[in-house]
Amino acid sequence: MAYQATRNRRIFLLFLLPVIAVLFLTTIYPMLYAGWLSFRNYDLAKPFIPRIFVGWANYAEILSSGTFLHALITTLKLMAMTLSAQLVLGVGIALLVTQRLPGMGVARTLLLIPMMISPVIVGLVWLFLYFPELGYLNYFLSLVGLSGIGWITTTNWALWAIAIADIWQWTPFIMMGTAAALHSLSPEPYEAAMIDGNSRWDVFWRVTLPQLKPVLISLMFLRAIDAFKIYDIIFVLTKGGPGDSTEVLSMFIYRESFTFWRMGMGAAASFVSLAIITILVTFFFKSLNRDRSAVE
Amino acid sequence: MNKPSTRQAILIYLLLAVVLIVFLTPIYLVASSSVKPAPIMFQKPPAFFFTPTWEHYHVLFTERPFLKFIGNSLIVAFGSTAISLVFGSLAAYAISRIRHRRMNDFAFWILSLRMFPPITVVVPYYIIFKTAGLLDTPLALIIVYSTANIPLVVWLMKGFFDEVPSALEEAAMVDGYGIIETFWRVTLPLAAPGLAVSAVFCFIFSWNEFLFALMLTGSKAQTATVAVMSFWSSDAVQWGRIMAGSFIILIPGVVFVLTCQRWLVRGLTMGSVK
């Protein structure tokens, strides 16, 4: 088709134009605006005070104050808690549901349901379970002889309460991706490993897991990105409390912007978060591209 | 892998039963609590057999305008799905067919837009829509959700377009079709499953979304997710109607899982796992 390539390319660019226009208006422009805002003292609660240019003051305040750093650390803590649990449980359940036994397909389908539920509904359901005095979770725990826990009312447990809701919703994601990958593995290495007389555990550890690695890395990356976004579940369960025990980055930005109405601070905090995520994303794509060119 | 022995099978089924109970109990609780009379809502042990009541649903649709909120959710979800599909699949086709070394970077740029935390753009969106007089209108949410959905459509559809054999397109061109005709009459019909999957994902995302809906709407354009959250109040806990609303909201997602679960992997991983 090379002879008509140039004419075609012009038409293809026409196909691209609407998306470029829309995405420019809805992402680049708001980001530029946020950038402008982050250098200003913009207090929505005091609309008559001019939005003066304050230089790097917002950034300086964020980076020097302990609260932002605390929110960043809480985000990373929550990420570590949810990702590690989802990885172990997700791979474990995937190994169960890929066994050649009747009924596995149905089980797999049913396990996918939590992912498609609105996070705010997930939050409400778990609030129902955690609810002080009334919730069913402590009752279920008492059935197996465990004492009740102040899930969302104590600083020790609130982050776990959020992590458990997230783990419940997204373990199926790792399960689903891993199960799909397990089905596409080639059987030869297994036959070889079995002939060599390795135990099941050895085979899993030395043959299965290395083959799953690329898929697992992709899945965990997507989860890591989502862990930075987490908002709805926390909004419903704890709103960042008690104290600041569950105040993650998104709650910090929300509070600065819509509780204290300090839009400039909120924008500056957004930008610092964006910078962190951009580094994460770039790093991942770089390594992805490197893997791909290594294969080619 | 070998077929498990009977003993192993029993162990597997036992473990699986535990897993299923853990993952399905919360969903069962939503369904059962939505028809449970208020006095036994938190009764322990939980009542499995009781006379279901429709009072919570009744309150939802008579005392509260929940139908209107569902209507808003539907308008926003269908609107943003349509826009995302049109714009997204056009761009995906171009990205799939243009051979240029920068094209990959462009595709990744689009993908990266989906990775930013929504909260970081809430402030600018809020101010921009306020200035434009679009706060509390479905249009504001349609715009925002389309922005979030277009990258997903682009990546999913790119994968589907890549799979359409180029011989078919070349044959169409030999028959005198232009690019646009080829796209419309040959390629797009072949990628129809992709369009269906993309549509469902866009719809579910918009239907489920909460943060932007909370920030950008008031009483007029409020969507169902925000409405359900608003039933929550610290003095009187209206769990019955919260659960009834929640159950209605989770229906589309559950139907989606039960009908087209084989596409879930591809959609949720943006085509990176097929």
Could you report the predicted ipTM of this complex, rounded to two decimals? Answer: 0.89
β-pair partners for A40: A53
Q: What is the mean pLDDT of residues B112-125?
A: 83
Q: Do B265 and A180 touch (CB under 8 A)?
A: yes
Cα three-residue angle B73-B228-A130, rounded to 5 degrees = 135
Task: Find the angle CA(B218)-CA(B223)-CA(B225) to the nearest 5 degrees.
Answer: 115
B1 in a domain, yes or no? no
Of B130, B118, B209, the C-alpha closest to A31 is B118
Å between B27 CA and nearest CA of chain A: 8
B95, B100, B115: best to mutate for the A interface, most A CBs within 10 A: B115
Mean pLDDT within B254-270: 78
Task: Match domain A66-295 to its CATH number in 3.20.20.140, 3.40.50.1000, 3.30.70.20, 1.10.3720.10.
Answer: 1.10.3720.10
> Given B14, B29, B56, which residue is the final one in a domain?
B56
pLDDT of amino acid A274: 84
Of A11, A122, A232, the CB nearest to B179: A11
Task: Give yes or no for B43 touching A (CB within 8 A).
Answer: no
The C-alpha angle A161, A165, A169, rounded to 5 degrees, equals: 165
Q: What is the pTM of this model?
A: 0.88
Give CA separation, A15 vs A31, B98, B108, in Å: 25, 11, 17
Instruction: Please give, rounded to a whole number of angstroms, the shortest distance from the CA of B163 to a CA of chain A.
Output: 18
More confident position, B39 or B195: B195
Whole-angstrom distance, CA of residue A95 vs CA of residue B237: 41
Calculate the dihedral angle through the C-alpha atoms of A174, A176, A178, A184, rounding to the nearest 10 degrees.
-160
Query: Are B117 and B199 members of one domain?
Result: yes
Residue A293: CB partners within 8 Å, gap ≥ 6? none
pLDDT tens figures, B212-259: 999 899 888 999 999 998 887 654 458 888 999 999 999 999 998 888
Q: Which residue's structure tokens are 């134009």?
A: A17
Cα–Cα separations (whole angstroms), residue A184 to A111, A207, A208: 20, 14, 11
Let me know: does B221 contact B140? Beta carbons within 8 Å: yes
User: Alpha-carbon distance A165 to B204, whole Å?
Assistant: 20
Q: Are residues B66 and B156 in the same domain?
A: yes
Residue A8 has pLDDT above 80, yes or no: no
φ, ψ dihedrals at A43, nearest 5°:
-110, 110
Q: Are residues B35 and B131 in the same domain?
A: no
Is the same domain home to B31 and B101?
Answer: no
Q: Using pLDDT thresholds of 50, 70 and 90, give the confidence band for residue A159.
A: very high
A115 to B264: CB separation less than 8 angstroms, yes or no: yes
Whether B250 has its CB under 8 Å from any CB of chain A: the answer is yes
Q: Are residues B184 and B86 in the same domain?
A: yes
B141 interfaces chain A, CB cutoff of 8 Å: no
Q: Do A270 and B94 touch (CB under 8 A)?
A: no
Per-residue tokens: A87: 């990885």
Whether B161 and B229 map to the same domain: the answer is: yes
Residue B273 included in any domain: no
Report, in angstroms and rounded to the nearest whole number, the Rg of chain B calculated over CA atoms.
Answer: 23
Confidence class for position B1, pLDDT limits 50, 70, 90: low
- Looking at chain A, which residue has its C-alpha nearest residue B14? A96
Confidence at residue A13, expressed as pLDDT on a 0 to 100 scale:
83
Nearest-CA distance from B26 to chain A in Å? 6
Q: In Å, what is the CA distance from A282 to each residue of A190, A213, A278, A279?
A: 36, 20, 6, 5
A243: left (phi over 0), alpha (psi -120 to 50) or beta: left
What pLDDT score was predicted for residue A188? 73
Token pair, residue B217, equals: 């709407």
Q: How many helices (H) and strands (E) does chain B have?
A: 14, 0
B166 and B41 belong to one structural domain: no
Smallest CA–CA distance, residue B217 to chain A, in Å, is 14
Would an 8 Å CB–CB cutoff place B49 in contact with chain A? no
What is the overall mean pLDDT for chain A?
A: 85
Domain count for chain B: 2
Assess if residue B251 is contained within a domain.
Answer: yes
**Peptide bond connecting B117 to the previous residue in cis, omega within 30 degrees of 0:** no
Do residues A166 and A82 touch, judged by C-beta distance below 8 A?
yes
Residue B128 and residue B89 share a domain: yes
pLDDT more than 70, % of chain B:
96
**Residue B258 CB contacts under 8 Å (≥ 6 apart), including other chains:** A109
Give the span between the Cα atoms of B24 and A74, in whole angstroms. Answer: 29
> What pLDDT is recorded for position B245?
93
Residue A53, strand partner residues: A40
Domain that holds residue B232: 58-268
Nearest Cα residue in chain A from B122: A254
Tell me how far CA of residue B112 lies from CA of A129, A271, A280, A284, B115, in angstroms.
36, 15, 11, 11, 5
Per-residue pLDDT at B24 exceeds 90: yes
Burial of A214 per CB tally in 10 Å (0-12, 13-18, 19+): middle
Instruction: Say if the Cβ atoms of B117 and A249 lie within 8 Å.
Output: yes
Residue B88 contacts A where some CB pair is shorter than 8 Å: yes
- Comparing alpha-carbon positions, the chain A residue that sits nearest to B119 is A250
Whether A218 and B127 lie within 8 Å, measured CB to CB: no
Cβ pair A237, A123 in contact under 8 A? yes
Based on the domain organization, do B49 and B91 belong to the same domain? no
Most confident of A161-170, B147-156, B173-182: A161-170
Kindly report the CATH number assigned to the domain that includes residue B82: 1.10.3720.10
Report how many Cβ contacts below 8 Å link chain A to chain B: 255
Q: Shortest CA distance to B242 belongs to which of B234, B231, B250?
A: B231
* Percent residues over pLDDT 90 in chain B: 41
Closest-CA distance, A279 to chain B, in angstroms, reads: 11
Whether residue B274 is contained in a domain is answered as: no
Above 50 in pLDDT, residue A296? no
As separate numbers, helices (DSSP H) first and strands (DSSP E) second, chain A gives 14, 0
Rounding to the nearest 10 degrees, give the CA dihedral for residues A168, A172, A174, A180: 170
Strand, coil or helix: what is B175?
coil
**B140 and B225 belong to one structural domain:** yes
Residue-wise pLDDT for B55-75, tens only, equals 889 888 888 888 999 999 999
What does chain B come to in residues? 274
Please say whether the beta carbons of B150 and B110 come within 8 A: yes
Question: How far, in Å, CA of B177 to CA of A103, rounded?
Answer: 49
Residue B216: CB atoms within 10 Å: 23
Buried b (16+ CB within 10 A) or exposed e, B21-38: eebebbbebbebbbbbee
Shared domain for B62 and B43, answered yes or no, is: no
The pLDDT value given to residue A81:
95
Identity of the residue in A12, A126, A176 whose CB atom sits nearest the CB atom of B265? A176
Question: Which of B116, B154, B261 comes nearest A109 by C-beta?
Answer: B261
The model's confidence at residue A6, banded by pLDDT at 50, 70 and 90, is low
Residue B107 placed within a domain: yes
Q: Which residues have C-beta within 8 Å of that of residue A281, sequence separation ≥ 6?
A: A225, B112, B115
Per-residue burial over B79-100, b if 16 or more Cβ lie within 10 Å, else e, is: bbbebbbebbbbbbbbbbbbee
Q: What pLDDT score does A48 carry?
A: 66
pLDDT confidence band for A38 (50 / 70 / 90) = confident
Same domain, B63 and B120: yes
